[in-house]
Amino acid sequence: MAGSIDRVITAAAAAGLEIEVQRMGASTRTAQEAAEQCGCDVAQIVKSLIFRGETSGKLFLFLVSGIHQLDLAKAAALAGEPLTRADPRQVRDETGFAIGGVAPIGHLIAMPTFMDETLLNYAAVWSAAGAHDAVFSAAPDRLLIAAKAKAASLEACACTA
């Protein structure tokens, strides 16, 4: 996807966020792979997950820690409508990013965006930068602002009881 990394860089600059996009030369498609390449904890990886509103058809972006599963009920409550995972083609067409390289900023369209509040516990977090081997790090509070995101509890309860 030519230009998708440039869109991330441009969006960061427009938001006053200084980033350095790193091409790792190896896959950072999954949170686990990204953490290995970045040398950070999986919890510090930002998953940029795109969901589709079942009523409106609009897309929503959820920025979720690599160690968490998105709680769909919490996400739907925030969105104000039921959600389903957006299919890869819609993600590509509407955001300009392919699955595995979806960034938290620089999308072709504006989407309501929510950030896992636990990401704010870290000094730095790592996100995809528009390609499956491209990442950037940022202070999470700065990323929150740049992504025009709202911090929220997004984590699915891992308890079994």
Give 47 or 107: the residue with its C-beta nearer to ligand 5CA: 47
- The least distance separating ligand 5CA from the CB of residue 92, rounded to whole angstroms, comes to 10
Q: d(Cα 91, Cα 49) in Å, to the nearest integer?
A: 10
Site map 56..85 versus ligand 5CA, x via CB under 6 A: -----------------------------x
Q: Is 100 in the site for ligand 5CA (CB under 6 A)?
A: yes
Q: Is 47 in the site for ligand 5CA (CB under 6 A)?
A: yes
Q: Is 119 in the site for ligand 5CA (CB under 6 A)?
A: no
Q: Is 40 in the site for ligand 5CA (CB under 6 A)?
A: no
Give 94 or 161: the residue with its C-beta nearer to ligand 5CA: 94
Q: Is 48 in the site for ligand 5CA (CB under 6 A)?
A: yes
Q: In 6-97, which ranges are E strands? A: 22-23, 45-53, 59-65, 83-85
Q: Quick one: DSSP state of residue 30?
A: S
Interface residue with ligand 5CA, options 44, 95, 127, 137 (CB under 6 A):
127
Q: d(Cα 48, Cα 62) in Å, to the nearest integer?
A: 6
CA distance readout (Å), 4 to 1, 14, 24, 114: 6, 15, 16, 21
Give 49 or 144: the residue with its C-beta nearer to ligand 5CA: 49
- The least distance separating ligand 5CA from the CB of residue 19, rounded to whole angstroms, comes to 14
Q: d(Cα 161, Cα 157) in Å, to the nearest integer?
A: 10
CB atoms within 10 A of CB 8: 27
